[in-house]
Structure 1
Amino acid sequence: MRNEQPTEMRRRHYPSDLTDEQWAAIAPLLAGYDPLTADLRQMVNACLYLEKTGCPWRYLPINFGPWETVRKWRDRFLADGLWPEIAARLARALRRQRRRSSTSRTALSDPESVVSGP
């Protein structure tokens, strides 16, 4: 007989999971989505796991929920233009957590494309 526990009780935590501070930074972006159809924090955690590990969809750990559900939500976040804003807010939250300026001060230049001399 299998040990049947609710998913949230047995869900494993991964290094890519959102902290409470990070979730607070992006939760307002998800206010327009229906939280009854999926745990939105878990869907974002699953998307972050996939981005971080590069694992194939079908290898997504089952404790994130069915991979088809995660894919549907990721596609929706992308189609709505939400994923870049989520990434930007998470980057700002990480910079605050590390006590750095909220904006990056680094600039990159490609020496091959810079014209020098006459």
Structure 2
Amino acid sequence: KIISACNIFTKTPNPSFSQHLNTLVVLNLRDCKSLKSLPAGIHLEFLKELDLSGCSKLKRLPDISSAANIEEMFLNGTAIEELPSSIECLYKLLHLDLEDCKSLKSLPSGLFLCRNKCRIR
């Protein structure tokens, strides 16, 4: 399943919507300028690609440890201030794009212990 949406979300999706996200393989919310956060407790166990690039008001990600199968994460151009420590558990992560994340203060130290050759940009 794929959700690709541009500018349809004006606020964080409500819990009734987020319960349908657990079978997604691709979640593309690129350029949703009003998106500030994703709901806490979101389950993305089958997700392989998460594209939040250009979501310029997005300041944080929830715990994403349930997204164990994620391979690509695009956070470029967001207002992310820090990455959740749970990103260290994403052993299948191959590509993490953080370009133009001007508010990002630091990276979790365990991120550099990726078992795969994770390309961080």
Structure 2-normalised TM-score? Answer: 0.22
Q: Which has the higher contact order (CA 8 A, sep 6+)?
A: 1
Larger radius of gyration: 1
Structure 1-normalised TM-score? Answer: 0.22
Larger helix percent? 1
